[in-house]
Amino acid sequence: MAEGYRGPLEKVGPYQWLVPQDYKPGMRVPGLIYASEELIDQIRRDQAPEQVANVATLPGIQKASLAMPDIHWGYGFPIGGVAAMDPEEGGVISPGGVGYDINCGVRLVRTDLTVDDVKDRVRELVDLLFRRIPTGVGRTGKYSFPKKELRKLVVEGPRCLVEDYGLGIPRDIEFTEAQGRLEGAEPDFVSDRAFDRGEEQCGTLGSGNHFLEVQVCSEIHDEEAARVMGLFEGQVCIMIHSGSRGFGYQVCEDYLMKLRTVPEKYGIQLPDRQLACAPVNSPEGRQYIGAMRAAANFAWCNRQLLMQQTREVFQEFFGRPWEELGMHLVYDVAHNIAKLEQHRIDGELKTVWVHRKGATRAFPPGHPEIPEAYRAIGQPVLIPGSMGTASWVLVGQPGSMDQTFGTSCHGAGRRMSRRAAVREARGRRIDEELERIGVIARARSRRELPEEQPKAYKDVDLVVEVVHNAGLSKKVARMRPIGVIKG
Amino acid sequence: MCPWETFEHTADIGLRITGRSLDELFATAGQALFALLIENPEEIRPREMVEFQLHAEDHAYLLVDWLHELLYLFDGQHLVFCEFDVRVNERRPVLSAHCRGEPVNWDVHRPGTEVKAITYHNLKLERQGDLWVAEVIVDI
């Protein structure tokens, strides 16, 4: 385990900790970490604050190199890192600021079912989900998209699945961030290898921290926002956490390789080679952006197909069409992405590339990019907990625009290495323990449950408390898991 | 001394690999990767062969590219390997490889850990006395 961070962290607000700009040579802005006293102690235990400082050296960075309370060590950028770059000031785009799993994200599907409708049959339901929905390493799904079809899919996003294949309904698109389509995806900048890996992986869950969870809405914190989203206490919902699978990993890998020598070419000095980047306005930068957008659109297609398969399973299990079960998409958000957005910086409206790596967009009420139905309450922010612990639904607040380029946290954040988690779990049966607390868990790999056990993560409630109190997003509902399938 | 072992890293796994030559080290790195991906790599049979050449800016990058290549053959071509005959030029960062294995069969090969990528973080490849030693962290 790497040693902890020994540099400065100055408390500058109730939930704000500053890494001063003079901490490290080359920092263009300070670092700013959102955390409580309790969480900052955990955050100091790895080199994540050092990574916040490293990101602050990147050309074109605005205001501050930011980090959310679930920050932990990542490659180049920390997980939970947020940085906005102005192309007019030589701003860069960095694959490390997006992550290997481009557009990893979360989707919440509601139902009209209540906990009483499923409580005696959760095991059977989870077993059926586990049989039908492909999970884990190397598993391919029932869908296969040869290159020609996949090229169209990654340009058009899930709208293409709905219109050309009937896999979903138009309403699904409306409630997906960016309508599931980043304009300007360039399949020509995506390698054949990415297409090979993506061909049979659209509609598969993957492994690691990805999951599909059956949840019960256990607490409502904001009646009006919950009503608008169609959430109520005791309701059964499904949360899906997955990303762009091998397609996205390959895009990231390809561009990290291509960018190895690029910073030098543009005279950019990097404190860590995982921060490899290219100016937004350079051929290399434009190529990565085109490929990254294609991978983001792939991820939205993946989550659309995971949702569609879930609907089919429920339909089979309950013997009623999914429409009758009220299985509608509440919202879908990305938490590993870079997007071109407008933000007011020092009084001036600027168009910047916002990198969110393990961070969720959290636009406040009234923002034009929010679906009309939610415009009065703010954009839903979906925060998955770790396996066996609660997840949260929040909505974006005005504070996010003032402070964090419209961003909130993304999850619990790891606090134990995988090996430490497995060691800690030795001699225990995690599946049986979970069952005792009311969660039926199924995983394909024997390593998966010990590695992802609840103790391996920070307490998601503490993380959510910070973003709520700091005015970045507001609590709407807490979701309790009753069943989960994993890789 | 064990030719390879894993070491801890917050969310991921590090591989520490040793070899008396670069040829041996690269071959061992291939074994280590498939031992992560497949829980019972001893069940992989050498029924098919794939050969390829690679070149990179330096030998450390070459090691990353080698593991990338194997990961792609697994994830994109659904192949698993058990034998690696790798010739690494010690003066120039180029290699040629013959890998033997078979198409993955999930009735036989038990799934291990999904490897998203081979990273550059704290990437190391150096000579220590008579041995070559490498450290590479994989994103899982």
Contact A72 B10 (CB under 8 A): yes
Cβ-Cβ contacts under 8 Å, B12 against chain A: 418
Contact A75 B121 (CB under 8 A): yes
- pLDDT for A181: 98
pLDDT band at A2 (very low <50, low <70, confident <90, very high): low
pLDDT of A29 > 80? The answer is: yes
pLDDT band at A413 (very low <50, low <70, confident <90, very high): confident
Longest dimension (CA), chain B: 44
The string of pLDDT tens digits covering residues A186-201 is 999 999 999 999 999 9
Cβ-Cβ contacts under 8 Å, A256 against chain B: 120
Report chain A residues touching chain B, CB-CB < 8 A.
1-2, 46, 72-76, 79, 100-101, 136-140, 193, 196-197, 206-208, 246, 249-250, 252-253, 256-257, 260-261, 272-274, 414, 417-420, 444-447, 487
Question: Which domains, and CATH codes, for chain B?
Answer: 4-139 (3.55.10.10)
Q: How many residues does chain A have?
A: 487
Helix spans in A179-282 (H): 192-199, 223-229, 245-258, 262-265
The string of pLDDT tens digits covering residues A232-252 is 999 999 999 999 999 999 999
The string of pLDDT tens digits covering residues A421-456 is 888 888 888 888 888 888 999 998 777 788 888 888
pLDDT of A159 > 80? The answer is: yes
Question: Which domains, and CATH codes, for chain A?
Answer: 10-93+107-486 (3.90.1860.10)
Contact B10 A445 (CB under 8 A): no
Cβ-Cβ contacts under 8 Å, B140 against chain A: 207-208, 418
- pLDDT for A1: 46
- Tell me what percent of the residues of chain A surpass a pLDDT of 70: 100
Strands A440-443, A473-486: pairing kind: parallel
- pLDDT for A450: 85
DSSP secondary-structure letter at A454?
Answer: G
The string of pLDDT tens digits covering residues A206-219 is 987 899 999 999 99
Contact A138 B61 (CB under 8 A): no
SS3 at position A28:
coil
* Exposed e or buried b per residue across A450-479, where buried means at least 16 C-beta atoms within 10 angstroms of its C-beta: bbbbbebbbbbebbbbbbbebbbbbbbbbb
Mean pLDDT of A351-368: 98
Half-sphere exposure of B107 (CA within 13 A, CB side): 0
pLDDT band at A387 (very low <50, low <70, confident <90, very high): confident
pLDDT band at B12 (very low <50, low <70, confident <90, very high): confident
Residues of A identified as active-site? 410
Q: What mean pLDDT is reported for chain B?
A: 93
- The residue written with tokens 């040693």 in the block is A3
Sign of CA dihedral A169, A174, A178, A182: positive
Mean pLDDT of B118-139: 93
pLDDT band at B2 (very low <50, low <70, confident <90, very high): low
Cβ-Cβ contacts under 8 Å, A1 against chain B: 8-10
Interface mutation vs chain A, best among B75, B102, B115, B123, most A CBs within 10 Å: B75
The string of pLDDT tens digits covering residues B44-89 is 999 999 999 999 999 999 999 999 999 999 999 999 999 999 999 9
pLDDT of A164 > 60? The answer is: yes
